[in-house]
Structure 1
Amino acid sequence: MSASSISGRFRRLNKTQKLSAAGISAVAAAALSLSLVPGNAEAETEPQALSASPVVFGSAAGAPQARTIQASLIEQHSSAEKMVKAIDAAKAKKAAAVKAKINAVAVAEANAKKAEAKEKAAAQWKAKKAAAKRSTHTASRSETRTHVYANNLDGWIREALSIMKAKGIPGTYEGLHRNIMRESSGNPNAINDWDINAINGVPSIGLLQIIKPTFDAYHVSGTPHTQYDPVANLTASANYAADKYGSIDNVDSAY
């Protein structure tokens, strides 16, 4: 077969066939070069036998390495995905913790506001009730008061003195007035809400700032049974002072 015929057929081969043909040509060229070695060279060295292992050409030679690289890339991708998921989970957990903290603070603030509103409402109700009670006492006293005495400090003192005289309780206008001005400045609704009596739940009330246990013990019959009534307050206080000090006139300080 001529060289031109071989060349034409070689051009019609596919890529794999061309690679195989190229390999065969290389082997043939090697064999030809060996046949051209001089006789004495053959005696000195013997040509090495061709390996029985198949010769791998082209991309087939890099297939194991490519598979190794591919496996490494897959593993790296999997690790990256795990890392992203872990980061996302950590972010979600942190966000949930922040949200829970914000909610807890909001709930605490709401509860504090409710408690404050409840306490304020209770205080307002208590003050309103006390005001209504004082108003009732004052109205009751005004309705039962005789027209002989004026409904003011001077009239209250004069009426109290008349009752004290009838009951045998010592005391003078000056003694009552002096202690009234020190204790309440003439306010029949005055109440001490800070001293030891108030702390113990029995605040001092009225013109002469008498506590309820003392008022109850020394109340003068014929007067309203309430500390807020000015005449009842004066007569009970004067009765107590007479028992402890001989007379309200002898009192010059807290008693």
Structure 2
Amino acid sequence: MRSTISGYTALPKAHKISAAGLVTVAGAAALTFALVPQASAADVPSVAVKPVAQSAQEFGVTHDAELAKAADAAAVKAGAEAKAATQTAAKAKADTERANRSTERKALEPAPAAKPAAPAKKAYADNLDGWIKESLDVLQAKGIPASYDGIKRNIMRESTGNPRAINDWDINAVNGVPSKGLLQMIDPTFKAYHVEGTSWDIYDPVANITAACNYAADKYGSMDNVNSAY
């Protein structure tokens, strides 16, 4: 017969044994834990920890310094580039102003006087008329007196207008220096009275006339005064 206590329920015998066993196991476990000695702090092996190169604070300071240095370098470079650009612009402006002033000065300067065109070389006919006229122009430039009529009159008497005429029978020819050309001059006289600017060929019509007129002016005052052999 089960006896009951108010507020409690009587366990059957099997449950009582199980409970007693749990108590025994728990006690043994407690006893076992109590018997295991605890390790002291000295018995725990130390683990070497590699120090960090920089603390977070130090890394931040260094990084900021490098950024500031880079910013300064960039500012210096930008300043130099700006200065160079300013100088280039100033030079370009100065060059433009100088060119404008030069253009203005040239615009105000009077235009240079045009050089007179060289007179065209006078043309002469290749005949007796043309030879006399060309010779007269040379004589006038040299200040040697003569006239067209005086020259032509003496030419017609001496050579009849043949520039290649030669006298091979008079005293001059006998002496080896025959008279030649329009006004029948001998070589020594032609060379002595040759007029600069004319040919040295005694048979050249203009050279022969001019030298003969120069000789006549020296000996008779002018070819106009010669009316016979001279």
Range of TM-score over shorter length: 0.3 to 0.5
Of Structure 1 and Structure 2, which has the larger fraction of its residues in helix?
1
Taking structure 2 as the reference length, what is the TM-score of the superposition? 0.47
Taking structure 1 as the reference length, what is the TM-score of the superposition? 0.43
